[in-house]
Amino acid sequence: MVSTSSITHATPASFIAHQLSRGSYEDIAKDFLKTDIDVFIGGGFNHFAKRTDKLNLIDSLKSRGYEVDTTLNMVLNSTSNKLAGFTAPVHNPFRLNGRGDMLAESHCQSN
């Protein structure tokens, strides 16, 4: 799964999460630990690492065999079959030209 927004945003997360509110980003992040998804790439690092409940879901992802990358460059150079690629603390920044080629570049990694 690849998203130009936060990976915990309602649209991409609808494939993974089951929460009452689309704004429950931290609860949605916990739902990622209940799936067998191999690769997910997008913003949302803070929903896994800088949580109000102080849980560190990054360690939980690593213990489940995920390589956790925190930049698009790291994602593009990964050879892991299990990848959690975070490209922004929350949402990826929107620039004058949109989000550039980020989605296409990330999609190449997920194939």
pTM above 0.85, yes or no: no
Q: Which residue range(s) make up the domain with 34?
A: 2-110
Give pLDDT, residue 91: 81
pLDDT tens readout for residues 63-98 = 999 999 998 899 999 999 999 999 999 887 765 455
Confidence at 5, pLDDT banded by 50, 70, 90: confident
Q: How many domains does the chain have?
A: 1
Tokens of 110: 């997920």
**3-class SS at 83?**
strand
- 47-73 CB burial, b ≥16 within 10 A, e <16: bbbeeeeeeebbeebeeeebbbbbebe
pLDDT tens readout for residues 33-48 = 999 899 999 999 999 9
CA angle, residues 54, 89, 72, in degrees to nearest 5: 130
Confidence at 26, pLDDT banded by 50, 70, 90: very high
Residue 94 burial (CB < 10 Å; 0-12/13-18/19+)? exposed
